[in-house]
Structure 1
């Protein structure tokens, strides 16, 4: 409307949002919120660094978690320790003068990253409405979505939506464990809340998760199992996708050597490069040598063991244009660690997958890929050259995997609005309507016993038992009367 200033947004980037993605996200969030014109606005980046000892603890936690994952020992305790390290950084952030300076900016809306709880506490401290982006599958957090246990797999259950009886038993038991784990993870913020919020007005973290006006989930219907969603939950998988460009000449020259056989792209995530054992590298290199395709492998050459000779059909690079290579007409397979962004790009370009999941949500992501039939998963710890080579050949040669990948790509691409339009449009909706109360169920304000109708069941149980007791008493009285009348008649 004329005379009104444009909305001012604050993007609180967590540690899971790399610098490159932060830059792209900032461009998206600063687009004109009046329609879908891609007019870039200026934005300011405020950088804050935690004390060195906090950074050391966080780095140690990340390295330990990755190392354990590579050995097949991904445990809940590792994630718990990681969140404790993030909480320590959050303490220092809230003690700094940044929060006070942000209060003076008069933001209309905050955008927080959902895995790091600190964003929720900053939003509460500023007293501003906020929306949340979730970089991983939403099974990792409970923010109020209806989750029927009969067909919605619990995080880390590695089940699909098609469960038999024992699968439902497992899912139910894991749901109880999931609730306990969520409570423990939320407890990592208890000390921060006690220190920075006054008694009597201290927030409960589980309530803050449900306080978000919108949840933007980095996923898509082409990947997720169908399940109930609330109106304030929006899929934006593929948000960071860019128009594809021609690949650099050095890659084109390498790809051309293999003609119609094409090539395989191998990217296992930036955090994993430094942790792969020499034995795993040897097995992977040997497996690639058995392929008729060329292999483009992103791996830091400085970490490559000198006593392993790189296979003749492998090109190793420190960096590569992943999105552009996935769009190349001669790509035949994508070997990935199962990160959600990589899977979204593979679906976008209809490329079959062989997954080598390591930790966190990656194994669960590959369960979905297998269920959708456009890829196969192999345990990282159990990689053997022969098994890996056979699996890759199977996925390349069996056209059913490519057909399933094409079907998933059609689902993802045929949305009436792009991920960016969905995100900007819904944020605009929230700003224009003064919040998203109309998108949230009243259940968010009900105590747990009302949500699960325990008070109703208790009432009906009391009425039923009371009625049975009263009927029993009446039958007893009638029986006594009849017995007395019969006794008098005999007399």
Structure 2
């Protein structure tokens, strides 16, 4: 889930073997921190010197890591599942507006931090700027300020406005939009809706994000910086996607897929949890709605129906929640085991896990795929419907609506997923496709970051499409020229043929004309059609 954009700004100083890196993480989204934190740790292990501005300071940072804590400056982001949205706006519009508002707010909070202002006004020099690409661009001027190329980290599939910034094709006929839960094979109405959603998303981004972000950038860097122009100068964007589980799409060289970058094989299971999983005879079902959606805040009647459905299962259901926060009228089934914190990736890869019940967040989806576990997804927000549909299309998941699913729907879906062996078989096949790569995603990400450093911005990766106007990019000028040439050619041929026909008929013998008229009196020939069109009158 993405209730608030996680900004990552990495500034890398020029050095023979190592770079100085500044990481600015001004929002407190734990899932995003898990992903970008892996990049930071990997760069630190490669002897780069890092200064990190973050809500999640390390407990024991290494000697080459310096931290500036933002803890407490922004309240903890928690999505209460009991909240209701009363609006005529479509859900994807509300989601986009909320995300952009929160991203701009995060940017504003960090921009007012004295340490950040001091950095911007300092005399330090840097080689590379890395920013998170998502809901705002207010830190893009750092690249211009330090005369350094910019690399972006994107925690989702490529977004509509990011495609514009890189010159990457939208492909709305077969690539579903971030906020629309369609598959890649859409009917006419879905293609129409998808195209409209992409256009609307770009419009909202311009006026809900770029305009207020420009105000913040002007305050920090002066009025000479234009975010829409700077956004077209990314040297590289690392996208948290992969063609095996997300959409097959064309990518310019400046966009590299690193889906699964956050997967951490060093995770350890707590001894009590490991013993519980090891001793399970019928297996486990794991249920989590991520770090931001608390299951215990679901409406009590909805949660009661779900508890009723899972109480009859032979499997133990491991749920990430705090039962102390449940309403007093709810009774937790005997086969339910709850924990406040669970090492998700290690848990999903345990051989006794039979099913993952998820909200469809991208990071959790990637972990389940990497472990070969079937899924039941209940999309709540943002791209979760898109991820759930992608998994359903690949035969590894079932999807239920949060509003419409009741006890009977849950029972039927759980029975199908647990008893039909095809879901597990498809999950194992998808795991092999997802993990089969030349390099692990974390190594790929670090390689391309250092590639930009080695090649001083690697301007050769930039798409020439960024230098074209909209008219040129959409070939509207070519279409207009083609129409003009075609019209002129038809006009010239029309005049020429009329002239030649008129001149030639004058020399025909009168008897032949009479013969032709008698012969074709009851037959319409192509010749007569031409005579009628050009109204040729013989002598």
What's the TM-score once normalised by structure 1's chain length?
0.86
Closer/same/farther in 2, CA of residues 29 and 65 from structure 1, 3 Å limit = farther
The aligned residue for residue 96 of structure 2 is: 79
Closer/same/farther in 2, CA of residues 120 and 279 from structure 1, 3 Å limit = farther
The one-character-per-residue Cα deviations of 1:290-341 (angstroms, maximum 9, x if unpaired) are 1110011011223212221110000011111212211111110011111111
Q: Within 1, Cα distance between the matches of 2:63 and 2:96?
A: 37
Alignment partner of 1:381: what SS? Answer: coil
Closer/same/farther in 2, CA of residues 393 and 96 from structure 1, 3 Å limit = same
Q: Within 2, Cα distance between the matches of 1:432 and 1:327?
A: 37
Q: Within 1, Cα distance between the matches of 2:427 and 2:288?
A: 18
Larger Rg: 2
The aligned residue for residue 37 of structure 1 is: none
Q: Within 1, Cα distance between the matches of 2:249 and 2:505?
A: 61
Kindly indicate whether residue 311 of structure 2 is the aligned counterpart of residue 323 of structure 1.
no
The aligned residue for residue 185 of structure 2 is: 162
Q: Is the 8 A contact 1:149 1:168 kept in 2?
A: no
Q: Within 1, Cα distance between the matches of 2:90 and 2:484?
A: 49
Q: Within 1, Cα distance between the matches of 2:83 and 2:242?
A: 26
Closer/same/farther in 2, CA of residues 132 and 146 from structure 1, 3 Å limit = same
Q: Within 2, Cα distance between the matches of 1:472 and 1:20?
A: 70
Q: Within 2, Cα distance between the matches of 1:255 and 1:442?
A: 54
Kindly indicate whether residue 287 of structure 2 is the aligned counterpart of residue 270 of structure 1.
no
Please list every run of 5 or more consecutive structure 2 residues that lacks an aligned counterpart in the other structure.
1-13, 49-61, 509-535
Q: Which consecutive segments of 4 or more residues in structure 1 shift more than 6 A?
A: 482-489
Residue correspondence of structure 1 range 134-145 to structure 2 within 5 A: 134-139=154-159, 141-143=161-163, 144-145=167-168
Kindly indicate whether residue 207 of structure 2 is the aligned counterpart of residue 190 of structure 1.
no
The one-character-per-residue Cα deviations of 1:326-370 (angstroms, maximum 9, x if unpaired) are 111111001111111101111111111111110100011101000
The one-character-per-residue Cα deviations of 1:146-202 (angstroms, maximum 9, x if unpaired) are 233332223334322233xxx145324431342232122222221442564499844
Closer/same/farther in 2, CA of residues 446 and 294 from structure 1, 3 Å limit = same
Residue correspondence of structure 1 range 274-423 to structure 2 within 5 A: 275-423=297-445
Closer/same/farther in 2, CA of residues 455 and 204 from structure 1, 3 Å limit = farther
Alignment partner of 1:214: what SS? Answer: strand
For these two proteins, the number of residue pairs brought into alignment is 473
2:42 to 22, 25, 28: 28
The one-character-per-residue Cα deviations of 1:1-39 (angstroms, maximum 9, x if unpaired) are x983522233333537525555433212323279xxxxx
Question: How far 1:432 sits from its partner (Å)?
Answer: 0.7
Q: Is the 8 A contact 1:50 1:93 kept in 2?
A: no
Question: How far 1:223 sits from its partner (Å)?
Answer: 0.6
Root-mean-square deviation (Å): 3.3
Q: Within 1, Cα distance between the matches of 2:275 and 2:212?
A: 57
Q: Within 1, Cα distance between the matches of 2:66 and 2:360?
A: 33
1:106 to 103, 122, 125: 125
The one-character-per-residue Cα deviations of 1:362-412 (angstroms, maximum 9, x if unpaired) are 011101000111111111112212221221121122111111111111112
Alignment partner of 2:357: what SS? Answer: strand
Q: Within 2, Cα distance between the matches of 1:81 and 1:123?
A: 27
Kindly indicate whether residue 33 of structure 2 is the aligned counterpart of residue 10 of structure 1.
no
Closer/same/farther in 2, CA of residues 457 and 41 from structure 1, 3 Å limit = farther
Larger helix share, 1 or 2: 1
Question: How far 1:107 sits from its partner (Å)?
Answer: 2.2
Q: Is the 8 A contact 1:222 1:409 kept in 2?
A: no
The aligned residue for residue 470 of structure 2 is: 448
Q: Is the 8 A contact 2:321 2:338 kept in 1?
A: yes
Q: Is the 8 A contact 1:151 1:162 kept in 2?
A: yes
Q: Within 2, Cα distance between the matches of 1:179 and 1:244?
A: 42
Residue correspondence of structure 1 range 166-185 to structure 2 within 5 A: 167-185=187-205
Q: Is the 8 A contact 1:12 1:113 kept in 2?
A: no
Q: Within 1, Cα distance between the matches of 2:188 and 2:251?
A: 21
Q: Within 1, Cα distance between the matches of 2:36 and 2:400?
A: 31
Alignment partner of 1:158: what SS? Answer: coil
Question: How far 1:482 sits from its partner (Å)?
Answer: 6.3
Kindly indicate whether residue 261 of structure 2 is the aligned counterpart of residue 239 of structure 1.
yes
The aligned residue for residue 59 of structure 2 is: none
Q: Is the 8 A contact 2:377 2:398 kept in 1?
A: yes
Q: Is the 8 A contact 1:8 1:109 kept in 2?
A: no
Q: Within 2, Cα distance between the matches of 1:298 and 1:27?
A: 27
Higher mean C-alpha displacement, 22-31 vs 434-443: 22-31
Closer/same/farther in 2, CA of residues 95 and 262 from structure 1, 3 Å limit = closer
Higher mean C-alpha displacement, 409-418 vs 470-479: 470-479
Closer/same/farther in 2, CA of residues 89 and 271 from structure 1, 3 Å limit = closer
Closer/same/farther in 2, CA of residues 378 and 64 from structure 1, 3 Å limit = closer
The one-character-per-residue Cα deviations of 1:227-261 (angstroms, maximum 9, x if unpaired) are 212222222122122225563232244335641x1
Higher mean C-alpha displacement, 169-178 vs 389-398: 169-178
